[in-house]
Structure formats: C-alpha cells, structure tokens
Amino acid sequence: MSVGLKYPSSISPVNGIRLSTCCANIYQKKRTDLTLLELCEGSKVAGVFTRNLFCAAPVQIAKQHLAGFSPRYCLINAGNANAGTGEQGLLDTNNTCETLANLTGCKENEILPFSTGVIGEKLPVDKINDGLPELVEKLSSDNWIEAAEAIMTTDTIPKATSRIISLGESTISLTGIVKGSGMIRPNMATMLAFIATDANVSKDMLDKTLLHAVNKSFNRITVDGDTSTNDACVLIATCKAGNKCIDSHNSKEYKVLENTLVDIFCELSQAIIRDGEGATKFLTIRVTGGKKKTECIDVAYRIAESPLVKTAFTASDANWGRILSAIGNSGINDLDINNIDVFLDNVCIVENGQRASSYTEEKGKKVMLQDEIILLVNLNRGDFQEEVWTTDLSHEYIKINAEYRT
C-alpha cells in the first residue's frame, strides 16, 4: 500500500529515447524484468552512484564506461543485484554488455549496465542474453511506464513523471522513472533512477544540474537508513529539441531547466517514500534555526531513522519524548535544549525544551492520525533549514523484508 501515490499517466516521450521491456524469467513469477533504454547519437549523460563500498558489479562497470565514453544504451535487470559476486560478477556483466553490443553494432563500453534485486546471487547471464534480441526489436518511444514497471522489485506501483516546458522558441520534454521502496538512504541518488530530456545542454551543465537536483531530492530521503549496493541515478540530454545549447548557469534558460529538473527529482524521490516498504504515513521532517545546513540534516535524519519515533507514528501515538531523545542524540555538542520548539503540523508540542502549555494529547492524536504529517523542529540557533522525507515503521515492513528471498 502506498501513501497518496497514484498510477502514472500522461507520460511524454522524449525525442531521442526509445525503450523496451521483456520477461527474462529472472523472477520465479512471470513478469517483465529486463529493460533497455536506447539513447540517440550525440546524447550527453551524467550519473551518480552508490557510495556503499560493497557496490555491485554493474555499478563498477557503469562508472568505468561513463567516465570515458558516450553511452548509447542502458541495460537494466530486476530480480538480481549482481552484488557480492566477486570477479565472476564483473565477467557476467561484461558478458551481457558484449552480447548487446554485438546485436546493436555499438561498442561494449557504450553500454551502461544496472541491476537491482537479491544480493549475493550469480547473475543469470543466459536468461538476460536470450532476452536481448526481443528488447532490441521492441524499442519504442512510448514505453516509459512499461519500463517503470519492469525495474520494480518490492515497489507496489510504477513511478514516472513528465514535464513540458518552453526554452525560447523550443518545446522541451522531460520524463523520469524511478524504482525504490526499501533499503533506502541513498547517500548519492536513489535505488535506480533514469531522467531524460531532449534539451540541448552542455555536459558540464548537465553534471552540475544532476548534483544540484540529487542533493535537493534523493539525498533527502530515507526509509530504513540502509544505503544499497546498487544505487544509481542517470540524467540524459539527447539535445534533440533544437534550443540554443545551454552552457552557462547564469542564463535564464538554464534556471528554467534546472528548476524543472529539481521538481521532477523531488516528485520521484518522494514517490519512493510514499511507496516505502510497509509505509502507512508520509512524513516530512523539517529542521529550522540551525547554525549550519549540516546540523539541520543531522537532526532530521536522526529523527527520521529512529525506530522508536517511526513506530510511534505507525501507532499514531504522539510520544514526543522519543522525538526529544532523537534530537539530543544528533551529535550537536553545544545544543541548548531550552531553546528547542517542536510542532506536529501547526500543533506546538514542545516549547523551550519542554511540553508546551497549550498542548493536549487530543490535539497531538488528531494530527498523528493523518496519512501525511509535517514534524517541525526549530533549533532557534541560526538561519539554516533543511528537510528530509521518510516513512513510519510498520509490521508490514518487517514482513516484507523477512520474506524477501522466499
């Protein structure tokens, strides 16, 4: 069950991108689990990847290929992470890239591989290679939602969004898909995200935009505090729209493009939280009044990842003592607890470090029964503020992860 998330509609094709999906029988149940994105010649690609030191074989190879070549294809399999597989995992990923290169006539290092699923299992190379001819044959510009479905693992709903904007006299399309539901605290991007535009933009500006957008979105979410071995986020510009190349961050066109991409990234990252494993609530943890940005982020994440806080939200129990405990454990050594205010939406529960005189349990309970809640913490020590999006922690989360491999 997701919180306030609907099946995507009105997804726009992006000039220069074609996609396809098929069932490669990687899962025990029959479903699409193999996806191909074709990028037109001249496309520019920026990417960020997990900082987990146990990063998967496809992450290692995708980073190598992206560093030195212009990608023509993204190949994504679901159901198998190809992580914790050693040298054989690298060989297996290279095998699938080589097979696809032979089918399409591109170079092996012009392919970016991605995997998601169970860690520690050998990649089913034969199944993937057998599905590649079908993928190449079925490529179409209209398969974005199908691709969003095929890259899912424990997700309950595909996640995709589009925007159409004007840059000068040119009409620009932007579309993105993402998968992710558990093992979420990206520390770079998200589980797997692919965002594309036909805007003409320089590689330097694309890199700059990606990092900015990621830090405003995918680096502000957490379900369970665990950074995956396979996280990757890719931003593609096919440069097919015909606008004058955007090569400066000072231009009006760049600001419009950047703001639109940040909006897309935020919507997709929040979709992950809304579809978080076992989620019954969508929580915004907003911390204001910090001396610096990092301490606001530290407090927000400490609250967002506290099992005691998260389970209180599941029970709709305004147990504000757990919130104070998390704030006090956030690592700010010179924090004056007598200055701290805490609100549940517009209900003040803590004032000057203690229970607010206007607060009642009835007021707190009313807010806690909502599906979407803003928890505001004011440190009252500076001008910085940040927010993090997270879920509660329900019985269903435990059930999903206890049964994940069965």
Give the residue numbers marked as catalytic: 190
The whole-angstrom separation of Cα 101 and Cα 73 is 9
Q: Is residue 217 within 8 Å of 262, Cβ to Cβ?
A: yes
Locus of tokens 């200055």: 339
Q: What is the dihedral of CA 157, 158, 159, 162, to 10 degrees?
A: -130
Q: Is residue 386 within 8 Å of 349, Cβ to Cβ?
A: no
**Helix, coil or strand: residue 296:** helix
Which has the closest alpha carbon to 108: 122, 123, 93?
Answer: 93
Locus of tokens 């379900």: 223
Which has the closest alpha carbon to 297: 185, 395, 199, 209?
Answer: 185
Which has the closest alpha carbon to 119: 168, 79, 77, 72?
Answer: 79
